Amino acid sequence: MHIALANVIFVGSMAWAICITYCTQRMSKEDERFARNIRMRAGFSAMGLIALIGMAERFVRFNGLSLDFNTLQDRVESMVGGCVPLDNSLLSQSAAFEWLFAGSMVLVVASLIPEVRILTGSESEEE
């Protein structure tokens, strides 16, 4: 259950970041003020995508996952109820990628602040 929810959160967050980047790009065609944020947000989204790929790759290597579903089922059944070692370097690397991903999503959210100011009209009040 934890893995399924984590996948929904990570993949959903990445899809959301890509969608809002695309929306900002479309809005910039109507109002050039939105164009200021596209490169920054695209960079943060790319950073998140790289972190997601790195995290997934380390997770797959740690679990020894393969496309052979019989082997996968045996591996998963052997891990149920077992203790996961905390000193595994692949898990540490995956956690570092997870933090990089989380940081990139925070930066994507922060990059929305200028757009909110444009949309609410508070940008013109500050100038």
pLDDT tens digits for range 9-48: 999 999 999 999 999 999 999 989 989 888 999 999 999 9
| CA distances, 60 to each of 17, 76, 126 (Å) | 24, 12, 49
**Residue 14 covered by a domain:** yes
- Kindly state whether residue 75 falls inside one of the protein's structural domains: no
Q: Is residue 79 part of a domain?
A: no
Place of tokens 């380390």: 58
Residue 72 lies in a domain: no
pTM for the predicted model, two decimal places = 0.74
Full domain range(s) for residue 15: 2-66+88-126
Is residue 107 a part of any domain in this protein?
Answer: yes
109 has pLDDT over 60: yes
